[in-house]
Amino acid sequence: MDEKSSYLCYLIFLIFNLTIFKNIDPMYSSAFIIDSELSHFGKTELDYHSLSYQTAIQLLERNSEFEPQFLIFAAMAPERYTGEVFVSARIKESLGLKNLFTIRTETASSSGASALHTAVYLLRSGAFQRGIIIATEVMSRLEREENNLLLGSVLSERQKGFAMSMAQGGGMIATRYLQQYGYDRRDLYLLSKKLHDNGLKNEKAHIKKILQK
């Protein structure tokens, strides 16, 4: 496969349901994840639309009685990476969900997290009871330097003034957390160990490594 024509894709789908109890404010009702599907992580010739459709259709066929009332598509700059536009609308049409309420969330590397929050707010508003989230990321269509500049464009002017990257900002937050709660760097091993152990159990995980001290 041509290195320049391939790219990394990561995709996860989450279906939500809302249980509203009588005489209880919907804002205090519970939102649940019913099912999820993950694509293989790695290089592929598929674009945002095709990869999203292939994974979503597996999930919907497995839950044939589930009828989503909204679709949230989360991605970071698909227009820049693959030149695709109106991706959420095209996915909706391909899935045969033409009349579905559809929106897109984009907050750089936290786009998936913002989609989760948005879904919960929609459910708790009382306007919807069921929905689907599609989160797709593409990274290697661009060279590393251009990727870094694209990611860095989300930083505030103050952060840029410190010549701070997103990785450096994360490191500073982690250091403050360790100091504030009395941990040290060795405790970070437990977090990394947990993540690697989970990866060993997932057949679609990109990295499978036994982590030992």
- The 10s digit of each residue's pLDDT in 167-194 is 788 888 889 999 999 998 888 888 889 9
What pTM did the predictor assign? 0.78
Fill in the DSSP letter of residue 101. Answer: E
Q: Both tokens of residue 130?
A: 């069921």
CATH code, 124: 3.40.47.10
Pairing of strands 70-74, 101-105: parallel
- The 10s digit of each residue's pLDDT in 95-137 is 999 889 999 999 887 888 899 889 988 888 888 888 999 998 8
Number of domains in the chain: 1
- The 10s digit of each residue's pLDDT in 8-60 is 444 455 555 554 444 445 566 778 888 888 887 777 778 899 989 988 998 89
Within a domain: residue 49? yes
Residue 108, domain extent? 8-134
pLDDT of residue 10: 43
- The 10s digit of each residue's pLDDT in 84-106 is 999 999 999 999 998 899 999 99
Within a domain: residue 71? yes
What average pLDDT does this structure show over 140-160? 79
Please answer whether residues 82 and 52 qualify as being in contact, where contact means their C-beta atoms are separated by less than 8 angstroms.
no
Please answer whether residues 106 and 138 qualify as being in contact, where contact means their C-beta atoms are separated by less than 8 angstroms.
no
Within a domain: residue 202? no
The Cβ-side half-sphere exposure at 123, using a 13 Å CA radius, reads 26
Give 55-58's long-range contacts (Cβ < 8 A, gap of 24+): 55/11, 55/13, 55/134, 56/13, 56/91, 56/95, 56/132, 56/134, 57/95
